[in-house]
Structure formats: C-alpha cells, structure tokens
Structure 1
Amino acid sequence: MVENLEIKPKVFEYDFEVIYEDEHIAAINKPAGITVSGNKFKTVFNALPYNLKKSKAPDALYKPTPLHRLDNQTSGILLVAKTKTAQIELGKQFSNHTIQKKYCTIVIGKVHASQLINTPIENKLAETNFEIIKVEKSLKYNYLTCLKVFPKTGRTHQIRIHLASIGHPILGDKLYGNSKTLYKGKGLFLCASEISFLHPKTFKTIHLKIETPTKFISFLNREKRRWNTYNV
C-alpha cells in the first residue's frame, strides 16, 4: 500500500525584511534583482514560507501569495496574502484602484513641473501622477530629478513607460531608456516606498512606509559632489 505523503512546498531560503505580518497578510521589502513569481525556483513566492509564519486561520493558503507585481529590478513594498479571505478582499481593492501606492524614483533630466500622465498603455486607461522632490546637477546627465510617483492604475511597466514618454526615463532603465541612461552595476532606480489599504479582516486603514533606498541618496550626493568639484 502506498502512503499518502504530504507534498512540501518548494522553499527558497532567501532573507527578506518583513515590514508587517499578522495571521491574514504580510508585507515585505523586496530587493531589486529578484522576480516575484514564475517558473524559476529563485522567486519571492518560493521564499515567502522561509520568511513568514504559517497562518493559523481556517482559510490559510497553502503558501503565502503575492497580491501584486513588482518588476524584477524594482525594489520596495510587496503585499502578501496569507489567507483566502485576504486574497479575495485585497484583490477587490486592487481591482477597484482603492489601494494607494507611492514610488520613489530618479529620472534623467530636469523635470520642470509636477503633473498627471494619462497616456493609454496597450489601449487601456493608465494614470500616473508625480511630484518633484529634488533636482540635482550632474556632469554625466546634466540634470537628475528625484520624483515621488502615484500610479492610479497598475499597467505593466506603467511608471517606466509614462516617465519615458515625457522624455525623462528612469535612471538604469534598460528597456525604456537608452545606453546613456544606464548606471553600470546599480540597476533600476525605482522603489515602491509606501502603500495604504484597508485590512481585509478588520477593514482598518493600514499605512506602510519604508525609507528611500541608500543607493538613491548616495548617488544623488555623489553627483552633487562631482558637479561642485569640477565646476568651481
């Protein structure tokens, strides 16, 4: 007689910073360079059981499941469902665009005014707001602008496409920029820095925020120092 053996999930032993966790949901700080899910073994999805406690709720999912996408090269807050209720309720909030996400990014050039970009993507409605945080002079790029970005919709590569469409591609964007926009070895300068939503069980507002990545600050400071050194 063949015994029924419990099939254990694939677990990728990779450490994440866990920003928030309870029985129903969790949020992690995803590093750049790792894919959220897919056919590969080394994904966020396969690393979640290594980082999160198993839910004791009656409708606990077999494995914690990411609720949205972040590009491989994008870092920042990723929301995760640990129960079926959370998966359904937060899925509705994403569909209804009631979850508010904010990103921090550095783009090439001097952006002159905060604005709304609503150019359709693949014939679908797409809206991205942004405001200017800081403009720095740069020897290589002439100017760099740090932005806070508020996407209302969630189309694939939306922020990258929209910013490139107004002539300000994101620093390090290989797909929508060009060879001049790359900064060797530093990846894409885009981070999901804040998220607000209603908890799927208590329906209280949850607001999560992380610090701007060190590489953003150090890069802008470096460019400022180089400009001041060589333009005295």
Structure 2
Amino acid sequence: MILIETHKVPLLKTPIRLQEYGAGIFASLPTKSGLKKAIKNNLIFVNGKPSTTALFIRGYEIIELFQAENNTNKKHFNFPLEILFEDDYLAIVYKPAGILVSGNSFATIDNALTQNLQKSSLPTATRPRPVHRLDYPTSGLLLIGKTTESIIALNKLFEQKEIQKTYHAICIGKMKRNGEIDSPIDGKNTFTSYETLQTVTSPRFEFLNLVKLQPQTGRKHQLRKHLFAIGNPILGDKEYFLEDLILNGKGLFLHASTLDFTHPFSEEKITITKELPKKFKKIFSQ
C-alpha cells in the first residue's frame, strides 16, 4: 500500500466516532460512504493501526489514508466537459444527463476531471473531486473541489446549508402555483419548495408544468420522490411514476440549473446558471 494523505486531529471537546469525524478530512474521500469503504478495505490507519468505524477519535491522533498499489495507475476518461467557472480552489462543470458522477464505472465525471481542469497551483492541490452528487439521468451544474482545504470547506458549506441549489423540472398533472413539500425520506426530515412557472395542456398527460425547485435538504432522489408524493411526478421518471404515464426515450426532465454560494476563500459571491436543455425548450419555448 502507498500512503497518499495524512491528517492530524486537533484536540476535540467531545469524542466522536471515526466514521463521523472522518467525512471530508481527506480530499480523496469527500463522502461518508467513501470513508466507510476505505475503512472496510483496511486503507485507513489511526496511530499506525488499521481502524474501524466504531473507533472514537479524541484528539491528536494521526489518521492516514492509504491506496492499494494496483490503483495508482488509474486511467482517465477522455470526455470533454463544459467549464462554467474555475479558479485554483474550485470549479463548476456541466454534467450532461446519462453519465455517472462517480462510482466503480470508468465512464464518470470524476474520471474526466483531470483531463478538463487546470491543475491548482496551491500547495494543497489534489486530484479534483466532486463534492456533491447528481443522479445519472439528471443534467446540470456540479461543484468540484481542487484542493484539500477547498473540498473540506465546500462540504462544510453543504452541511450548513449555505449553498443554494435551484433545479428545473417538467412535471405531470395539474399543479398549484407554488407550494412546499416536507414528506420524510427514509425516516429523515426533508424540505423542498416549488414554483410553477408555466403550464401547457397535453393530450396524453393532461397538463405539463415547468417547475422551479429549491431543496433545503439533500436526500437521495429527494426531488423525484417529493414530486411523486404530491401526485406530480417528473416527466420521464421510470422509478417514481403514475401508471400509464411513462415517457420513454427522452430521459428524465430534471435539470440542476443554478448554484449560489459565497466562495469559501475569496469571499466572492458566486451565482452560476446553466440554461435549460433543448428538450425542455421543445415543450416550453419561452
């Protein structure tokens, strides 16, 4: 194994389990699920010994992240990306529908980043990594960290709900002008506000609505589940749908359109918007 990152724990007021403390401390492991997988594969050491998720961190420990030697020559996915913002700390790229953000597959946005982004000139530069997720069929803006500090800081902004994400979707059926949805997902609190921007009649679906969505929480499939829960599933959704109202061949009509936050290092106000895909405009021309 090869040592790739080291983290020294400051003194903590209250002991905390490694699986909670370790999320985001390594640039190569921005998610809690990635950390758990690394622990399970004996790639995380604490004070020189293999760790467990149940281990309590108290302060002053040395936490090391290793990489299996057969993973060092990871191939890069040659896939051109549209870059909407980039500096030494972070980037915002456009993820087309129909491609994974990350995972075990070769064809992912994660594997394409080093081919598309400029290497950071900062001392803590690391391999660029996505700091949040978009579903495979969802298009839109994806936030990328380019340094260790940036990845940690951006994860913190998400945890503190200081990054505002706006989505647009086309939904089926008659809808209110606006509303709020707080149906729990997997027993956890959730919240989404929506605004119906335009409505057109449809011979097959009765009504189609262009809807602006602003989630305040980030549960898996939250928007898709929430809209299905109020009887207005997203057009093209094949997991959360009403009987006989599935649209085949056009994909999911869900688009992550805007990211709005304060840059954690320059303190610049960042607002980036990506226009709606062509398939949206064929239904809603204005």
The equivalences for 1:141-180 within 5 A come to: 141-178=205-242, 180=244
Task: Report what 1:84 is aligned to.
Answer: 148
**Residue 219 of structure 1: how far off its partner (Å):** 3.0
Alignment match of 2:83 (pick from 18, 21, 32) = 18
Task: Tell whether 2:281 aligns with 1:217.
Answer: yes
1:64 maps to what in 2?
128
Q: What amino acid is aligned across from residue 76 of structure 2 in structure 1?
A: V
Q: Larger Cα Rg: Structure 1 or Structure 2?
A: 2
Match of 1:114 among 147, 172, 178: 178
**Residue type matched to 1:34 in 2?**
I
* 1:134 and 1:146 in contact (8 A); partners too: yes
Q: Amino acid of the residue matched to residue 90 of structure 2?
A: I
Distance in 1 separating the partners of 2:216 and 2:231:
21
State how 1:183-222 maps to structure 2 within 5 Å: 183-220=247-284
Give, as a single letter, the amino acid of the residue that structure 1 aligns with 2:123: P
User: Separation in 1 of the partners of 2:98 and 2:158?
Assistant: 24
Count of residue pairs the alignment pairs up: 216
Q: What aligned pairs does 1:48-59 form with structure 2 within 5 A after superposition?
A: 48-59=113-124
Q: Does 1:41 align with 2:114?
A: no
Note the alpha carbon deviations across 1:74-97, whole angstroms, 9 max, x for none.
000000000111101111010011
Query: Counterpart of 2:176 in structure 1: which amino acid?
Result: H
Query: Which consecutive residues of structure 1, in runs of 5 or more, have no partner in the other structure?
Result: 1-6, 222-232
Distance in 1, matches of 2:212 and 2:245, equals 19
Q: Relative contact order, CA 8 A, sep 6+: which one is greater?
A: 1
- Aligned equivalents of 1:180 and 1:114: distance in 2? 26
Where does structure 2 lack aligned partners over 5 or more consecutive residues?
1-71
- Partners of 1:34 and 1:180 in 2: how far apart? 27
Query: Would the alpha carbon gap of residues 55 and 107 (structure 1) be closer, same or farther in structure 2, given more than 3 Å must change?
Result: same
For residues 214 and 161 of structure 1, what CA distance do their matches in structure 2 show? 24
Tell whether the 8 Å contact from 1:173 to 1:181 is kept in structure 2 after alignment.
no
Is the 8 Å Cα contact of residues 36 and 44 (structure 1) preserved in structure 2? yes
Paired amino acid for 1:60: A
Q: Percent identity?
A: 44
